[in-house]
Each structure stands twice: as C-alpha cells, then as structure tokens.
C-alpha cells in the first residue's frame, strides 16, 4: 500500500535529493509540495522544487505552493554559504518550468489534507513556519495527519550553534508550536543524519548509473557540508525512515524547544523521562544503519527512470 505524503521543504541540495527519491519510489505518493524560506529565500526554494519535479515528470507535475518568507519572530538567516546563492548549485536544469499554485502553502496544505480520504503523513525538511501556521490557523487538520516526520533538531551538538540545528534555529517559535500541537512527530535529527553520510564510493557509483544519478551526484558534491568520509544529506533520512524504519532506532521522549537566549533553537529532550509526568511528544531517532542507508540510496537511484 502506497504511503500518501505531503512534503514541506526548503530546497536546498539535501531537500532536492529527498524529493528526487520520494518522486520515484513506488511506495510513496507525493500529493503536494510546499516551500518555505530556509536554505535560501522562498522564491528560490520554490523554483528549485519545480526544477526537481519537472526533471522527473516532464510537465505531469506535482502541485507546488509557495509559503512564507519570514520566520514567525526572529530575523531570517539563510544557508547560502552551504547550498550556493541559488540553493541548488552544481547542475543546469531547464528553465521551462510549470507555475506554482496561486494559493499560499498554508491554504494548499489545508485544502489537500482535508480532502484526503485517509490520513496523510507530512514530511517537513525545512523550517517549520508553514507547519506552525497550518496547525495554528486550521487545528482541524490535526486529526487528518497520521504523523509529521521532521528533519531537524539534535539531542547533542547543533550545526548552527553548539546547541541548535539549522531547521529549528531558523524558526524556533514555529518548532515550538509544532512540538506542542499533539500531532505524532518523528524527529530525524543530527544524531542520525551526521552518521548516515553518503560515502564518496556511493557518490562515485551513482554518477554513472543514469541521468538522475549524474544530476544527484553533481548537486550533492556541490554541497558545502562535506568531510573526507562523505556528505551529510540530512533530509533524505526522512524518506529512508518512511520506507525502512527498521534501520533506525527511535526513542519516545518529550522535546522542548528553546526560543530565546544563547540556546535559541535548541531541541531539549527529556532523555530520563524525569519531567512532563512521563508524557512524550516525539519519537526521536538516535541511531541508524549507515551502511544500509547507502545501499538503499544506490538502489533508489539505480531504479530512477531518468
């Protein structure tokens, strides 16, 4: 049975790679893509989402709706230093693109979720501004969401500050609303995404598989977040979790979001279960089979029809 998903994202190289896999895997039905500012501004993330969809669909498009430009409270800070000024450097895509929907991301999310006969999974791989506005303005969608699978956060060291991961740091106030919403959440944070690097061997192999492999190789190797052991493609881990949850270890816990001071954007997990009367609000990924992740990604690329 196919999983119906909606993707809210800020492409961004790792978002683009996650979207590429989601569009091609037969077990996933991408119903809608909404965009938000994060890696770059929302006008650029929207274009990048359309480029990836057009690359694989040739006009038979998945609808895309553009979201908000600014975080709820704090000033916007992008990650162009990592992803380039366009947000998706490394490959020349066609400029003949379909248009995004005229409605806003929040309006599109509300309409699509309420019109779904079954519950839908929302995959959030950017800042959570659209998600927070949706849950605040249209609380009736909560019963239609089976879960939110969110890339972001860290129980340990962040990548924006010593405490904060980028997606949560970009709009911590939105993250707080999401984690307090009561919707089931799976947190895929740096605790696993920094372990599941796409290795240099994997990247070398995919570039000769097909046109899609060449495209993914070129954008991924343009990412500024690289080490001698490979590239952290954080957002693809959400798709890996959807399809192979057995290859990740998750632990239920309560996640609090810090929204001020030097720890602004930190995700604080009640790892001892000592607070919140034993309640939890997220399943937090704490370990991953990195070798299985690389094997899976290569298989996904090999099976892409481009």
pTM of the model: 0.95
d(C-alpha 224, C-alpha 226), whole Å: 6
Half-sphere exposure of 95 (CA within 13 A, CB side): 0
CB 119 within 8 A of CB 91: no
For 195, 197, 253, 260, the CA distances from 288, given in Å and listed in that order, are: 7, 11, 18, 31
The reported pLDDT for the residue numbered 273 is: 87
- Which helix H or strand E contains 170, and what residues bound it? helix 166-170
The reported pLDDT for the residue numbered 228 is: 82
Looking at residue 140, what DSSP letter applies?
G
- Which helix H or strand E contains 148, and what residues bound it? strand 145-151
Question: Which is the catalytic residue, given 83, 234, 244, 276?
Answer: 234
Pairing mode, strands 64-66 and 28-35: parallel
Half-sphere exposure of 125 (CA within 13 A, CB side): 30
CB 158 within 8 A of CB 169: yes
- pLDDT per residue rounded down to tens, the chain (306 residues): 789 999 999 998 999 999 999 999 999 999 999 999 987 899 999 999 999 999 998 556 799 999 988 999 998 887 667 766 777 888 999 888 889 999 999 999 999 999 998 999 999 999 999 999 999 999 999 999 999 999 999 999 999 999 999 999 999 999 999 999 999 999 999 999 999 999 999 999 999 999 999 999 999 998 777 778 899 999 999 999 999 999 999 999 999 999 999 999 999 999 988 899 889 999 999 999 999 999 999 999 999 988
- Which helix H or strand E contains 123, and what residues bound it? strand 120-124
d(C-alpha 113, C-alpha 108), whole Å: 8
Active site includes 57?
no
The reported pLDDT for the residue numbered 60 is: 62
d(C-alpha 221, C-alpha 231), whole Å: 8
């Amino acid at each position: 049975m196919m999983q119906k998903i909606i993707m809210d994202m800020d492409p961004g190289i790792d978002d683009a790679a996650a979207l590429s896999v989601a569009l091609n895997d037969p077990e996933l039905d991408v119903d809608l893509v909404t965009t938000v500012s994060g890696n770059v501004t929302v006008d650029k993330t929207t274009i990048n989402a359309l480029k990836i969809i057009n690359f694989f669909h040739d006009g038979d498009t998945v609808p895309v709706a553009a979201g908000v430009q600014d975080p709820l409270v704090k000033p916007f800070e992008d990650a162009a230093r990592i992803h380039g000024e366009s947000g998706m450097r490394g490959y020349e895509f066609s400029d003949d693109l379909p248009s995004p929907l005229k409605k806003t991301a929040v309006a599109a999310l509300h309409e699509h979720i309420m019109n779904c006969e079954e519950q839908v999974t929302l995959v959030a791989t950017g800042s959570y501004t659209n998600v927070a506005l949706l849950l605040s303005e249209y609380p009736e969608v909560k019963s239609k969401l089976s879960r939110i699978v969110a890339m972001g956060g860290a129980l340990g060291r962040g990548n924006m500050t010593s405490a904060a991961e980028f997606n949560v740091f970009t709009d911590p106030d939105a993250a707080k609303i999401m984690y307090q919403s009561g919707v089931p959440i799976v947190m895929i944070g740096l605790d696993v995404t920094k372990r599941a690097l796409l290795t240099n061997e994997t990247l070398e192999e995919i570039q000769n598989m097909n046109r899609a492999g060449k495209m993914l190789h070129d954008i991924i190797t343009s990412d500024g977040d690289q080490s001698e052991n490979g590239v952290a493609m954080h957002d693809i881990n959400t798709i890996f979790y959807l399809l192979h949850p057995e290859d990740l270890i998750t632990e239920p816990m309560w996640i609090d979001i810090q929204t001020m001071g030097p720890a602004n954007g930190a995700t604080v997990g009640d790892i001892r279960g000592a607070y919140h009367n034993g309640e939890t609000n997220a399943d937090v990924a704490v370990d991953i089979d990195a070798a299985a992740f690389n094997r899976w990604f290569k298989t996904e690329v090999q099976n892409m029809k481009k």
